[in-house]
Chains A and B, each alone.
Chain A
Amino acid sequence: MSSREDILGRVRVGLNRSATNAAAGRAEMAAALSNRSHGPKPAIDSNPQALLARFRIKSEQQSSTVDIVAQDSDVPVAVERYLTAMKLPKAAVAWPSLAPLDWVGAGLKVEGRGARDADLVGITGCFCAVAETGTLMLCSSPDTPAAVSLLPETHIAIVSASRILAYMEDAWTLARKELGVLPRAVNFISGPSRTGDIEQTIVLGAHGPYRVHLVIVES
């Protein structure tokens, strides 16, 4: 007997599995998968301005920094401003999907590609953001590689204000609608990487970025 059959067999014995209760179990399973019921959620004002305000506060609580600009074309200048203020290099790797922005015009050397170890700054967008916890949702694809938000010491993320949702549940609904199936990697990111493994003292920059900077685009 295979291990699979052995394990499932013992589980079935434990559950007193019979044809009748299997049919009932399958019906319950089908209901759970189609109902997708939600648990209780903290109350959040879903007005766009309120969502933006909450997202900003929660992101800052997670040790991210936040800048707000009016439109997409303002992003490269905002990124340059941040890098200058932080005395960081003016070169970055970015999601290929962001390559068309006028980085050169802002005095930046930005390459749209997958990330390498030597990259110090990584620029990404996000699929959407969650106001409840101040969280970014990044979906991997050829145009949006996962490592750009992971390998560099600095992660800059561009967030459209219109895609700030109240709850993670809303993000799943949006993903089903726009993507159909889940991408290989969905990464929810809430601030820089951290560890508390030595004396429960929180240190930023464990294996991922030391700092996360959000550029929120209002329109």
Chain B
Amino acid sequence: MEIKSMHFKANASATLANVVLQGNLKNAKGKFVTKRAEAIKDLDDFEGTRDAATAIRNKVIDNLDLWLECFERKALDTGAKVFWAKDGAEVCRLVTEIARSHGVTKVTKSKSMLSEEAGLNQALEAAGIQPVETDLGEYILQVDNNEPPSHIIAPAVHKSLDDVADLFHKVHGTPRKTEIPALTREAREVLRGHFLSAEMGLSGGNFLVAETGSVALVTNEGNGRMVTTMPHVHVVITGIEKVIPTLEDLSTLMRILPRSATGQSISNYFSILTGVKKPEEHDGPEHLYFILVDSGRADVVGTDFHAMLRCIRCGACMNHCPVYQTIGGHAYGWVYPGPMGSVLTPLYAGMENSIDLPHAATLCNQCGIVCPVSIPLPDLLRKLREKQTERGLRPLTERIGLRVWAWVAQRPKLYALGASLGVRYLKWLAGDTDRIRLLPTAPEWSLGRDFPAPQGKTFRELYAARQTRKGATT
């Protein structure tokens, strides 16, 4: 997917000014938060389960090469084929080649964020192969001119019932429906035909199980089951970091993933798929391919951002993020929004393309607290800010400003003079009150809140006075 994160500020401002979108976001806000809070209650030991999940993910990413080799060996034993892709272009080439080798004209897709990263739909279309998104949210976006998703779990969360009603009326040419069940039924009927006629199904993978060479899929709609059961070819595209050791580990992670994502104790469907159909079986694919994708992941191993590879893509960080709740997912400009996206986008799509993302956070640590695999997201965002400075990626004004500040700060007398002038200026601005309604030097800062007024003297002046008093008493 083409990265637009460099336009973050403009896009975030446009979102804030869009009344309809603000209404949709306000409507969505908090639903996932409430459901998650309820769902974690019935685990007797949520924090213990979270620690266990963190340990499982660490175990694998700390020896990722060995676990990948183990998974590959097992998967080959089951009759699957395993390919590796360095980047999105290689994903597109491999999928297209597999499709061509089986004479495929239509591919049904279960939700895969990696296919969004790779821009796979456009590549398939260019090769004359029809990609059909079958997750309801992804389908809504695909028929709306391939609009990008705004949430990793609920891709169309920014759309209202009215938006979908208008869209389906337009694309399906059916009478406009106003009830959500009727719209869902309409999509079901359109997509059923595709499920039965597609020659190839394509899915992501929530986990790869090293013990058995299986892929595990967490779904609710049943579309994941359809695309992995009906066509005779199944292609799994998944990041190299998704391996977990055993089926028991899968059970531990399943206690925590659906709860963190949608607030369910378990998703409606949880499918563990291993190998290919036997000749006497009625259904299932005859050919199973895994494409293990790097796209920036390998270079994160062992770096300051290693912990990010634990991510299980639940979306809890964005659901709880005050910035995401206000601007929605599109403003972030790439596949992954919210706090996890603000870390992943610079790492996978280029730090220079996403300068504003690590700053699009209040560092309130709501994300860090809810992360089911304990990723210290605010620390990683702060670390990215440091990297930007090290690489000289910050804007010229900021760099000059910091240099001037550093120069002054190294000269105590000058610093004291500057601080005392500044404090007195702010005090004068506040007048008789203890707050400043509008900061002339940074008006945006004080548009939504008051600036607290300093109480007359600087810290250094107060400290010096106190030392003098102390001297007088002893």
Q: Is the CB of B270 within 8 A of A188?
A: yes
A153 to chain B, nearest CB (A): 10
Instruction: Say yes or no for A200: interface residue by CB 8 A criterion.
Output: yes
Q: Is the CB of A198 within 8 A of B185?
A: no
Q: Is the CB of B161 within 8 A of A185?
A: no
Q: Is the CB of B223 within 8 A of A182?
A: no
Chain A CB count within 10 A is highest, among B43, B184, B185, B278, for B184
A43 to chain B, nearest CB (A): 6
Instruction: Say yes or no for A69: interface residue by CB 8 A criterion.
Output: no
Among the listed B84, B136, B155, B268, which residue makes an inter-chain contact with A192, where contact means beta carbons less than 8 Å apart?
Answer: B268
Q: Is the CB of B222 within 8 A of A208?
A: yes
Among the listed B63, B267, B271, which residue makes an inter-chain contact with A29, where contact means beta carbons less than 8 Å apart?
Answer: B63
Segment at the B interface, from A77-85, A98-106, A164-172: A164-172
| Docked pose: A217 CA to B250 CA in angstroms | 29
Instruction: Say yes or no for A47: interface residue by CB 8 A criterion.
Output: no
Query: Which chain A residues border B68 with CB–CB below 8 Å?
Result: 8, 11
Query: Which chain B residues border A196 with CB–CB below 8 Å?
Result: 154, 220, 262
Among the listed B69, B222, B229, which residue makes an inter-chain contact with A8, where contact means beta carbons less than 8 Å apart?
Answer: B69
Segment at the A interface, from B25-33, B351-359, B362-370, B435-443: B25-33
Query: Which chain B residues border A8 with CB–CB below 8 Å?
Result: 65, 68-69
Closest A residue to B86 using CB positions: A3
Q: Is the CB of A193 within 8 A of B222?
A: yes
Interface residues of A in 10-49 (CB under 8 A from B): 10-17, 22, 25-26, 28-29, 32-33, 36-43
Q: Is the CB of A207 within 8 A of B134?
A: yes
Q: Is the CB of A198 within 8 A of B255?
A: no
A169 to chain B, nearest CB (A): 5
Q: Is the CB of A208 within 8 A of B84?
A: no
Interface residues of A in 183-212 (CB under 8 A from B): 183-201, 203, 205-209
Query: Which chain A residues border B268 with CB–CB below 8 Å?
Result: 62, 189-194, 208
Instruction: Say yes or no for B283: interface residue by CB 8 A criterion.
Output: yes
Instruction: Say yes or no for A87: interface residue by CB 8 A criterion.
Output: no
* Known pairs A200-B31, A207-B226; A117 contacts B274 (CB<8 A): no
Instruction: Say yes or no for B299: interface residue by CB 8 A criterion.
Output: yes
Q: Is the CB of B281 within 8 A of A141?
A: yes
Q: Is the CB of A198 within 8 A of B302?
A: no
Instruction: Say yes or no for A120: interface residue by CB 8 A criterion.
Output: no
A34 to chain B, nearest CB (A): 9
A-facing mask of B452-473, CB < 8 A → 1, else 0?
0000000000000000000000
Query: Which chain A residues border B191 with CB–CB below 8 Å?
Result: 207
Interface residues of B in 267-285 (CB under 8 A from A): 267-278, 280-284
Query: Which chain B residues border A17 with CB–CB below 8 Å?
Result: 65
Instruction: Say yes or no for B195: interface residue by CB 8 A criterion.
Output: yes
Among the listed B44, B69, B161, which residue makes an inter-chain contact with A198, where contact means beta carbons less than 8 Å apart?
Answer: B161
Query: Which chain B residues border A141 with CB–CB below 8 Å?
Result: 281
Instruction: Say yes or no for B247: interface residue by CB 8 A criterion.
Output: yes
Query: Which chain A residues border B262 with CB–CB below 8 Å?
Result: 196
Point out residues on B near A: beta carbons under 8 Å: 27-28, 31-32, 42-45, 48-49, 52-53, 56, 59, 62-70, 83-86, 90, 134-137, 140, 154-157, 159-161, 164, 180-181, 183-185, 188, 191-192, 195-196, 210-212, 214, 220-223, 225-226, 228-230, 240, 245-252, 254-255, 262, 265-278, 280-284, 292, 294, 298-303, 306
A-B contact pairs, 12 of them (CB 8 A): A6-B86, A7-B84, A7-B240, A13-B302, A150-B229, A168-B254, A188-B271, A192-B268, A193-B269, A200-B157, A207-B225, A207-B226
Q: 20 additional contacts, CB 8 Å, given A11-B240, A186-B271, A199-B180? A: A4-B84, A8-B68, A14-B302, A14-B306, A15-B63, A16-B302, A32-B59, A33-B210, A39-B53, A184-B277, A186-B273, A186-B274, A192-B268, A194-B220, A194-B268, A195-B136, A196-B154, A200-B28, A206-B188, A208-B225
